[in-house]
Each structure stands twice: as C-alpha cells, then as structure tokens.
Amino acid sequence: MKSIIIIFCIYISIARALDNGLAKTPPMGWMSWERFRCIIDCDKYPDECISERLIIEMADIMVKDGYLAAGYEYVNIDDCWSELERDKDGKIIADKNRFPRGIKFLSDYVHSKGLKFGTYLDYGTKTCAGYPGSLDFLETDAQSLAEWEVDFIKMDGCNVDTEKMVDGYIEFGRLMNATGRPIMYSCSWPAYFEYYRKPTMYPDYEILKKTCNLWRNWKDIEDSYESMLFTSDYFAEHAERVAPHAGPGHWNDPDTLLLGNFGLSYEQSKAQLAIWAVIAAPFLLSNDLRTVTPEIKELLLNREIIAVDQDPLGIQGKQLKKGNGIEVWVRPITPIVGNEYSYAVAFVSRRTDGHGYAFPYSLADLNLNSKNGYIVKDLFNLKRKTFNLLQNETHEERVNPTGANFYKFTPIK
C-alpha cells in the first residue's frame, strides 16, 4: 500500500504542468510565417517584407478593426527578422534596414497599443531560413528576450540533432524563467519528432506539458485546403494520444489559421475555423489583415466560435466519426448543466457533390446523452433561432461541399 502511495505521488509531481501563469486558454493573435514567409526584399515588396513597417501595420489593424477586442492579442514575428551575424557580444540583433529602430522599439510600440509582442528563435545552429541559431547562446538569447520585453517566443528546431532537443528546450525554459519575465513558450520538438524526422518518434507529452505552453505537433501548414486536411487528419488519427495532454497552460498547436489568404474558399474557411475551435487550437492568424474580406473578418471575429475555442474547461475535442464524406467533430464545453457538459459539434464535409449533403442524425449518434435533450445554437448563423433537439428525434443537417456547420448543444434542465 505504501509503495502505491509513493508511486502515486511521483506520478503527480511528474504530471505537473508548466507554471508561468500563461495560456490559461489557447493563445490568440497574429503571426507572420504562413503568409509572409521570408520576404526580405523591401525595395521590391515594400508591403510584404518582414519589417518594422509590416508589424506596425498589423498591430494598428488589430486594434482598429476589432481583433484585439475579440481576443487576438499577440503580434508575433516569425523567422527572418535578424541580421545574419550576431554582434560582437554574441547578441542577436534585428536586421538594421528592415527594423531600423530595433526590437525593443517595436515591442514598446506593440505594447503601447495594448497588444503583446512575440518573436522567433531556433534551437539549432541556424534558424530554418539560415539566420543565427541559439544553440550555443541560450542564456544570451533568454536575456535578450527579457530585455526586449517579449511576451511570446516560438523556438523552432531546424539544424540540430533531434537527440539534443528535449534537454535543450527544457534548459531554455529554465533560462527564460530565471530572467523573471513570464514568456509564453512555443516549442517545436514534437513536429520534428513526429513529422520531419525519419523514422518518426513520439515525444513524451508529459515533458512537453511541464516545459511549454504550446507545441507544434505536425508539419507547417500551407495555404491550401489539402494542407489544412493533412493537419486535421493528424489530429483525428492521433487524438487518443495527443488530445488528453491539452489543458489550461499547455496546448497542442496545429499551426496558424489560413483564413483571409488565397487558398481556402469561404466554405473551407468555415471548416478550418470549426475544427480548430473543436481541438482547442491557438487562434493565430497568418494573413494580411489589410486585405481580409468582410465575410472572412466576420468569421474571425465570431464571438461564439471564439468562446468555444477559449472555453475555460480547456478540453480538446476530437473527431467522433466519419462516413459518406461527412466528419463529426465534438468538444465538451461549458456550461455544465446538472452534471452534463455542453458540446460544440462541427459537421465537416469533404464531399464535392454540388448541393448541401443531407445528413440525418439523432443525439445518440453524437453520444449526447442528456435525457431532456439539448438547446441547439447555430454558431455560423447567430441570427438563426435556437431549436430544441430531444432524445427521440432525428434532425437533418445539410452541409455544403467542403464546408462545415457548427453548433453549440446545451443540455435542457
């Protein structure tokens, strides 16, 4: 008996999560990579190059157009922001032409708008795009982040042995903690273990939870429906293994939202948004906020969908079933009524027959067991009246080709 108790206590202490007070719900914000990549020629592409101007313009729009008010608070630069060489003291410095006033200036500017500021490093010898890596400079770089008052760091994993990663990321986390500044820590080693490295390895998610606030599990997303599905398939197929490790303070990260870019239609945009909300994904936009259409902006600012993503229980949902080209994704959320959860339910279609496919279901088909049934709210059509669905009833859902319908089911008392 005594040994059982001791083992139990050890288990509890191992399972404890990172305690920097951050990411109680999945982080929300904007990030440069997917849309702007490593465009560095500001003469040729002045509107798109990774530069002080780009970040300032995005920050201004986040405030002016209501993104900050809806919860999108981080403004994050990804790769390609620094000089190719460190300075004489070994410090990383921002590219002098593209960031003429330096990173601290930019961080102050972003903070002055009520936003938070994030940037990017790589644990290897060089970043993925060939800029200075942090491998022999972990302490210097942690210090720089604190001096610049950075709020979010994505630590990438190019150009380093996967064997070194776990200890290295833990060490960098410890060094950031030692600066005294709480910095949201986005780790990349699962993506390198599970996708980029061959043969695949499965990372220890208990270590991830103790070390990082969020972590990229899988391949970088690209601006296409196929890429979006490749990522959602990963989260469907590996849900039993990865979903239980998400929760307040520590999240799986399927990578950025593509909405507002070139690759997804309106219906496909709804599909990504609904799936990402079900799997408690960080809502990080990687788009050009200056050119987002009103329809897409309305999706991104949909308060009910944001509330699903940000649900305080922090339970990551899963794909419940699929068949006939229709996938059903389900996430337990608040409010809890009696002892029954509410649920967010997404019906996602991969079908391409020209009309909305008719999909009949009952509550039992969704494993929704509250005996008095549920009040159902259409999250993509907030003006539509709610309706009740009882246990003895069947409801027909029509899902547009490659689109999604998304509902909140609240138990009837």
Ligand X SMILES: *[C@@H]1O[C@H](CO)[C@@H](O)[C@H](O)[C@H]1NC(C)=O
Shortest spacing between CB 213 and ligand X, in angstroms: 10
The single residue among 140, 177, 362, 372 that binds ligand X, judged by CB under 6 A, is: 177
Cα atoms in the Cβ-side hemisphere of radius 13 Å centred on 349: 19
Tell me the window of 13-21, 90-98, 158-166, 378-386 that interacts with ligand X (CB under 6 A).
Answer: 13-21
The single residue among 13, 87, 180, 226 that binds ligand X, judged by CB under 6 A, is: 180
* Minimum CB distance to ligand X smaller for 21 or for 66: 21
SS3 124: coil
Q: Rounded to 10 degrees, what is the CA torsion of 196, 202, 206, 209?
A: 20
* Minimum CB distance to ligand X smaller for 118 or for 124: 118
Tell me the window of 63-71, 117-125, 177-185, 355-363 that interacts with ligand X (CB under 6 A).
Answer: 177-185
Q: Is 24 in the site for ligand X (CB under 6 A)?
A: no
Residue 41: active-site member: no
The single residue among 3, 200, 352, 392 that binds ligand X, judged by CB under 6 A, is: 392
Q: Is 20 in the site for ligand X (CB under 6 A)?
A: yes
Residue pair 151/145 in contact (Cβ under 8 Å)? The answer is no
DSSP string, 331-388: EEEEEEETTEEEEEEEEEE---SSSPEEEEEEGGGGT---TT-EEEEESS-TTSPPEE
Largest CA distance in the chain: 74
Spatial CA neighbour of 171 closest among 126, 221, 136, 206: 136
* Minimum CB distance to ligand X smaller for 174 or for 322: 174
Q: Is 6 in the site for ligand X (CB under 6 A)?
A: no
CA 192 to chain centre: 17
The single residue of 220, 223, 365, 378 carrying the catalytic annotation is 220
By beta-carbon distance, which residue lies closest to ligand X?
20
Residue 156: active-site member: yes
DSSP state at residue 214: E
Q: Is 19 in the site for ligand X (CB under 6 A)?
A: yes
CA dist., res. 218 & res. 224, Å (int): 16
- Considering only residues 362 to 391 of the shown chain, the ones binding ligand X according to CB under 6 A are 390
Q: Is 298 in the site for ligand X (CB under 6 A)?
A: no
Helices (H), 219-281: 225-237, 239-242, 266-278
Per CB under 6 A, residues contacting ligand X are 19-21, 177, 180-182, 390, 392-393
Active-site residue set: 156, 220
